[in-house]
Amino acid sequence: MNRLTLVFIFLAISWIASGQNGTMLTLGECYRKAEAASALAGEKDSYRQIWEFRDRNISSGWLPTLDVSGSFVYNSEVIDIGNSLGSLPVPGIADAVKPMPHEQYRLNVDINQVIYDGGAIKGARAIEKADLLINEKQSETDLYKLRSQINTCYFNLLLLERQDELLNNYLDLITKRIASMHSGVENGVILHSDIDVMTTEKIKLEQQLRESRIRGESLFRILSALTATETDPVPELVMPVFNTDSTDVISRPELEIFDLRKDQLNAYLQVINSRRMPKAFGFATLGYGNPPGNNFLKDEFAPYYILGAGLKWNIFDWNKAKTEKQIVGLQHVIIENRQNDLNDNLNRMLEAKRAEIESLSTLLETDLELISLRKRITSSAESQYENGTITATDLLNEINLEKQALINHEIHRINLAMVQADYYNISGKEIE
């Protein structure tokens, strides 16, 4: 084996061999790392902060409101009680009663407190809570799209790893075959053209290994960018193990969004009902003015207060609430239909994946039988070549057919794992 060959082999397997350092990376970890590294990862925290602010504002409806007001009023005409009392047969009574002042000065602090709101605040909080959960699930749905990109990189890397292992085995086999042929040429039992045939195949294998290395490095860079994973040292990718049960319940975040939207509509119904409920409230006014309060006969500045309670009930709204409930009912039907449609589509996708899984599983079984046959044929071809009944080209054809059978087996095995990963993602099951 010459030095150039050794360099090619080293380059082809360096990114695989570096995985021997003990650093391992699973498909589930790639998902979680990609979600954490995504620009969308911070959305949940932002949505929760928005909800906290809105919930705080809505809950403040139970707190008393404080309003400060001031006024100045001038009345051109006021009641003159002195003139009215002047007709009484009481000496000096008209002079004893001061007339009402024409000016009024007031500075008030008005306090209002909700006592009963018919469930309006509770319903509004429930709407905002449902909106938070919907936004969080929508973020999960958007992050779910990363999984298909992860799958493409991850399983292609696994396939390259296994293909390179097989190619290196065959490169070693061809190299040893060439070495043994040289002695045959020297003894005159083998033509030099046979060595040329094997050398041509050796160069092809070296080219494939170099191409595989370049593609592997590119895929690892993409996977590293998606998952924010260091590529030095290169982690060893672990083949995932799946259990695709046909009774799996679909738990995709998109379906949960529909349930949350229905909860939000139910909360909105509560708000609609609260509009027809009586509202009880208390109020108080702390003031300073002239005249103080409603004591219009007192012409001086003084403090005063007013306390009270009230009840407000909208007993007729021209069927507005009824119409809004009908609208909510129609929206509920639309959501239910869309949820059923999505569920049906997902079930059809799962059925298609089950068919792919069954097909690939069958191929894997026949692959093993085919590989066994190909190994026997290659062994027989080697004996025939040693006996001079076939050419080096014939032997190489059989070796390549055996090699392709092994590669096809690995392609089917890794494609099966990729389809199973798709099945898990469609059904919403988590991959470890």
Angle at 151 between CA 150 and CA 157, to 5 degrees: 95
Domain boundaries, the chain: 3-65+116-278+315-427
**Bridge partner list, 281:** 114, 310
Q: What is the pLDDT of residue 271?
A: 95
Interval 103-144: pLDDT, tens: 899 999 999 999 999 999 999 999 999 999 999 999 999 998
Of 234, 209, 240, the closest CA to residue 220 belongs to: 234
Kindly give the parts of the chain with pLDDT less than 70: 1-22, 80-97, 189, 231-232, 245-248
Residues 6 or more apart whose Cβ sits within 8 Å of residue 2 = none
Token representation of residue 327: 């609208």
Taking the C-alpha atoms of residue 58 and residue 125, their distance in angstroms, rounded to an integer, is 7
N residues, the chain: 432
On the CB side of 99, CA atoms within 13 Å amount to 12
Token representation of residue 180: 């043994």
Of 190, 121, 172, 224, the closest CA to residue 6 belongs to: 172
Long-range own/partner contacts, residues 374-380 (CB < 8 A, 24 or more apart): 374/398, 374/401, 374/402, 374/405, 375/402, 377/401, 377/402, 378/402
Instruction: Specify the pairing of strand 279-290 against strand 103-116.
Output: antiparallel
pTM score of the predicted model: 0.80
Range 3-65+116-278+315-427: architecture per CATH: Up-down Bundle (1.20)
Taking the C-alpha atoms of residue 374 and residue 23, their distance in angstroms, rounded to an integer, is 36
How buried is residue 73: exposed, middle or buried, by Cβ count under 10 Å (0-12/13-18/19+)? exposed
| Cis geometry, peptide bond prior to residue 291 (ω within 30 degrees of 0) | yes
Token representation of residue 373: 């046959």
Element (H, E) at 86: none
Q: What is the pLDDT of residue 432?
A: 78
Q: What is the pLDDT of residue 94?
A: 53
